[in-house]
Structure 1
Amino acid sequence: MRLHRLRRKFKNVFNALLVFMMIFASVGWFGPDNLVFAASTWTVQTLEGQNDINGVSYGGGNWLAFDLANNLISSSDGAQTWQFQPLPDFVGRSAVYTGSKWIVVGDQGQIYTSEDMNTWTPHPSNTTSTLYSVATNGSTIVAVGNDGTVLTSSDGTTWNLVSLGSTNLNAVVYGGSQFVVTGDSGNIFTSPDGTTWTSRTTSTSQSLYSVAYGNDLYVAVGGAGTILTSTDGMSWKPQASSNESSFLLSVAYGGGKFVAVDGNAGDIISSRDGISWNNETPTTTNALSGVAYGGGTFVAVGNAGTVASTPAASNSDANLSNLTLSQGTLNTPFSAGTTSYLATVDHSVTSVNVTPTTADSNASVTVNGTAATSGVSVPLNTESNTITVKVTAQDGTSTKTYTLTVTRAAAPLSNNADLTNLTLSQGTLNAPFSAGTTSYSATVDHSVTSVNVTPTTADSNASVTVNGTAATSGVSVPLNTGSNTITVKVTAQDGTSTKTYTLTVTRAAAPLSNNADLTNLTLSQGTLNAPFSAGTTSYSATVDHSVTSVNVTPTTADSNASVTVNGTAATSGVSVPLNTGSNTITVKVTAQDGTSTTTYTLSVTRSNPVIAPSGPSGSSGSSGSSGSSGSSGPSYSQNPSGTIQVLGGSTGTGTDHSLTQRIGPNVKLSADIYSTDGKLISPDIQIDGNRKFTLGNVQPGTYKMVLYVTAPTGEKLAGRTATLTVNASGSASVQTDLIDPFGVVRDSITHQPIDGIKLTLYWADTDLNRSKGRTPGTQVVLPSLPDMAPNQNRNSQLTVDGGKYGWMVFPEGDYYIIAEKDGYKTYDSRHDMRDVKQGDTSYIRNGIIHVGQTVVRMDFTMQSETFAAAGNKPYLSGYPDGTFRPDNRITRAELAAILSRILTYRGDAGTSTPYHDINSSYWALHAIAEMSDLKIMVGSPDGNFYPEQPVTRAELAAVIARLLPLPSAQGTPFTDVDGSWAKDSILKMANAGLVSGYGDGTFRPEQSLTRAEAAVIFNKLMGRSSQSVASTPKWSDVPTDFWAYGDILAASISL
């Protein structure tokens, strides 16, 4: 430890002077003219272990120190309590906080970094020299140590070695736009960038152990009480010291004064000008090795675990010491007393980094309202841009404003209307593209139904259309069979120069297939005598006598082939009635070419009925197939009959209460009867127009009835399932609901029905559909139902009569829906993750609409494109210091910016506004102009917009009401809105569930809207979910238990 090295060398001298120093500490050190400053009182504590502490640093609200026992010691409560973290084999000397991470240096060239002060990562340094000090200017990090070692880095991970000879370098500080390094034998070096160094002459040969910068002054301290000061880092002036035997090991600046500590007897001295120095009263005699300032407090550390601290007095200094730009030059050299500056940049410069440096490091500074911890990037408009730099002194009340006007030159308008490239997603141009060639051709296969055309303009400011559609990237062009002409028109930036490129794409005719094979042939009852093979054309099967019909389902190898079963077109399965005995079924496949055919023959044998034997002579028993010998049982009809009762209807007959009244009174119905164990016992029961039916030989009991709708084509469509009860008397009873497939489409925000939505039904990509020969992604071909108002079961169809739509579909199928309408985001049911069961065999789950035996009714909502345009991009941002400030008030300018990001409006507005208080350089000019152009936000009658005025809850309600066609609301749920100018808007918003009141029944319309409240409301408008956000906080002031945590993250990150 450097402190121990000094103590051994000068032990005898300081023992001799100890009595003198203790007496002198009570009266203070005197500077020129015997000027004495008031001394501070220090609080001293001894840390556990009483290990010698090397140094201390402050950053990010935390203190960090190091002891000789390989510990990192940290405090987050203003140096009141300290935590120890072992770091084996590491002796730390110095640390710096960059704003995002800590960097610690120490013995043997070791360097560690950490973003959370818990996990420390080592990094190679290319040296084994002890590193005594580290500093940063925000972009470059510099560490120094023994043997002239200088290391530089931009990220704290990768380090470059620079040598300054062989002298030991003890300290480095950044200030006044340069790095300053002090070392042994009075050596001082300066550098603007950490790479190029200049040696400076001093009048001392003493070792200089520390250097600090503050209030435009550098102070270096060292052996024999040495104190040097400099205003520029080049010329150094020695200052008188009344104790030339002291060894000043560390100096720091803060709160308007410099503080230095003695490495022998625990003395602390302070000065406001670097010339006149006071004794402080630390009440310790332990040697002190380091001192630092932060959070309004000085902290000194030293031997035996000593930590001393004292608060610094507040400073009223609100001056800047420098103001620099990344582009352009100030019209006059910076001076703290000059508050207005000008600069000019080329049009190619779209933003400028403004870096203000405060004279007092404890002062705070903003650039156009943004906290400037280092530089702040300011976007530039063409022409004049006013940048305001406001300094607030440490005392919190003293302020000073500097104004910088940056003029960005206007850009010349280009007349370049050339393309540099033209590409197709399918096919190849007949010749390599050249800007001078304007006609091209290409050929694609018939399987290509559209081509993506991507033109690239030579000038990025030019605009381009493909067949009249603006091409911001590629444009998809549908292709007809044969020739397709595509026109690409380029308009130069000047708006008058144009150039047209013509592309002719020929789509080949489709070849006709001659494939007339089947890939499968299945029966609803019975099993083929052999596994199906396309080359085998004859099969047989046997079924019980109870099976009166069989569903034959052929699957063609080519989806373009057609197939019939006994002459009936088979789009899915075909029901074939069976006679007792042999039944020949012919399946004929006709290939796409219309001439190639293959015929498959299937012989299905229906067994003879089994006749139950009579009971023994003289016994009494049932005449049916079951009963008990020797006992008398009830008789029952072998052909029970009954009537289906429609729940909610009357017990009378007639079409008014027809089971099918929603889909047409003349629709035919049939039913399959299943036992409780799922066995089909009576298929294809016919149900007449009065809902009456007669069963076959069915014994008394409870059964499942599956009702089907039979289309005019003979195809079976899903209907309902019900419980059938057969009594011993031969009567049968069934109760069920109407067959109702109609759903309703509503607006996701207003919840009002939407007419005119185009809906299309498709086969889903599932194993079930593929097993039945259905091609995933193709439109479902449904049979027409002439009496099914209003769309006759068409696919596609439009919603009418209050957003209604409906289809009668095939049983045992998986489907999805696409819904489209101008002004709304396209709905795809595959993204609808609801989990709903309908009936006992149908459900909607994981984006799939599965229809078993029961028709499915599906209601859903669609989102207006007004709030869908922003997608998943963030529309609220945090601050450079990592905070979100959820309780800050939203201003009118901020609300305009939020709406502009959400609506992504890009009209002709945006370059000027009619408001007196919005100039051409105002940061939210474009957003305010856009919202004014849309009449969403308006100014005051006096011609002002008042951009910095907080937005009230009533104002937000009025703005949202202008955006959305919200329905009128009746009643007043709030006690304080009757007299509000925005009452109607507030009630509409509350009725739509977009806003809510407070627990006391009030809405508080004139209360300012916070950033957290804005996130909640706009997330509801955009349909953004707060459920899927990360569980790790992004903003330091928004913990996971904050009431609006999920909404804030959903608004400020890309989802």
Structure 2
Amino acid sequence: SWDEVNHADTYEVTIEIEGAEPLVIVVEEGTELDLSALEPALKPGTYSVTVVAKSSNAAYSDSDPSEEVTYEVPVPVVALATPEAQLVENDVLTWEEVPHADTYEVTIEIEGAEPLVIVVEEGTELDLPSLEPALAPGTYSVTVVAKSNSPLYTDSDPSEEVTYVVAVVVDKTALQNKTTEISDDLTEGVLKQEQYTEESWQALQKALEDAKKVLADPDATQAEVNAALDVLENARGGLVKSDRITIVPSIGTLKPTGTDGVYAISVGHSTSNISFTVTPDDPDVQITVHGQIVENGVASGPIALNVGLNEITILVKGQDESTRTYKIQVTREAAPASNPNPIYYPGVPSSPSNVERITVDVEARGKGVVAKTEILRTTNADGTKSDEVAFGATVAEDSVRKTLEAGATTVRIVIPDEKDEVKDVRIDLTAAALAVVQKSGLDLEIYTDNGLITIPNDSLIGLNDNLYFHLIPIKQEDERKLVEQRARTEKLVRELLNDGNVYVVDRPFTIETNMPSRKVFITLPMNESNLPTATSGRERFLSDLAIFIEHSDGERKVVTPEMGDYAKGKLGLTFGIEKFSTFTILNRDGGVEDKHDAYIIGYPDGTFKPLHALTRAQIAVILHRVLDLQAEGTGVYPDVSSSHWASEAIRYVSGIGLMEGMPDGSFQPDRDITRAEMALIIARLKELRGDASHTFSDVGAGHWAEQGIANVFEAGYMEGMPDGSFQPNKILTRAEAVTVFNRVLERGPLYGMNQPTWPDVPMDHWAFHQIEEASQDHSYQLRPSGGETIVK
């Protein structure tokens, strides 16, 4: 605006900016001009403005220009677009790129604390779990603001809040270690129930059970974990040793006399000495038997017996110096006028230096020890040992009575050979003892580590003479080979086994006896280590087992045994006979059993590259190949064209639900597959839907693949890492993948190669046999110890 000038009719306003022609505007009415309303509008910049008064009267000339007025037209400012933020896999915060934004300001807030502001100068994501220092457990709200370095743009509005939860990390390591330690002690016999009081033992069992529940509870708090650990440690430290004690004589059974700590036993005249095995529940005591210090659970030396009453003192001294005293009254019968059924040990003197006496158990089968008898163990010149066992009427009567009281059906004589040093065993059974067992209605068994003889009660009827059994396990490899060769050349064996090859499984067993022809059952043990590990191979192996019998009279037979249990780690193969012989477990080896095609190939340079990753497309092709899928595929993805090399396999595996696409509808065929993804695929393939648990430290509750990982781990298809983690996001290597696939397909590992197929997978590579199984076509035979042997 300007003052009115006398005699002026119009005013000429000149608007100038450097580098442009001046703009002249004539104002015919009034003394002002709205510069912001000009059309077209002035561009941003700094202008100088002057006004000249003009008159139509010739008597007046134009005025001088007014002093310059500076006018600023500001640059317009625009707000940046608001980012759209979200959390993706593994709690990574990500947002879309905002045009003209140079940085992003991420604000992380939690109630009761100052907000944490992080400026992201590169990229459009922030890995929240990797922040240093780490966020404390709690629920956070996270927003993102876009910022620009240009004055033309203002900050964006904050994004919508994203909720981020940091779970409380509960450390179960100490509880897991203590639980494992105690469980191992129980399994390995370090902790034995009979050594502790019932109350303290049950307290430990409950504490251990509660600890396992806390370990399995994904919602357990640190306080609950710590409390369970305290209770478990206190229960372990609070075990109280029991003061119970077991005293077992070398013959017969102790009977209470009615006086505390005093027991009685009667023995025949033929028993000139006796020993005692004292087994306290508390192993930390000192045991003295008749003046001799003996070890816990070990028989004392022989104690000579006079005819009539003998008193033997047993002292048990605890660490607290307290001593318990037991008196054993042993009555030895006077010499009889005659002995109609003597037992002789040919060639064994009364007290030779190479003979030791060992007390062995007589059991009520399935009900525990009911009596004791003795073994004479002779050390032979070649260092092997021979056993002789006597089973007389006195032991038989005691055994029968207690077996009937226990409700068992069988008296079992147990002859141990824990060191596998006994060459042969001779068992002598008197006619009187056999008569006692027969009249009781019980069966009689003779159990050794190499074979079991079961004599049904009916087969004991009418046996009026002493019996002996001479048991000879064939331990030497050359002797076993001779048996195997005889079996292979035996016409009967070839006919029954369809001319297939045969080999001996475990030890042949020879039994010699003077028993007349009666029905008897033999059970031969077979170590489970001989069995293939795969279910299908195990079943096929068992179905091919047979017993080759070589009777002493020249007759040869092949029978099919019944399968059962023998002892820990051993199966029992049972069959009936009526005369005694050499018995051998055979497995029919029918030559090439099957053929496997390779399902993975190497690289053009001739290597396998075991540490390289497998892509999603490659996994799809392997699945398609090994499953021989024939159904029409239905999976269609925008990033998998019909000409893609794996398109058919991807359609098929997607169609049957083994693999899925990404949330955006793509398949991402070239993306490397992770261990978690592989676990989920195998869980779907094997239809594992159980509620298996796991202890992997890096697979938390709510992990998208947690149940699949737990199920495949429990099924044995995938394993964790040595540090107790699973590493779900780790890329699956080619070596790991074929190991998993072989387990799932019950293939391999493949043995029998003289040299490796791949130069980068030597024969000492941890996955050599698995890679050979997966990467070469081969015919094979099943190995008794598991896996396959290549047939060339």
In the superposition, the TM-score normalised over structure 1's length comes to 0.25
- Larger RCO: Structure 1 or Structure 2 (Cα < 8 Å, ≥ 6 residues apart)? 2
Select the structure of larger CA radius of gyration: 2
TM-score, normalised via structure 2 length = 0.32
| Structure number with higher strand proportion | 1
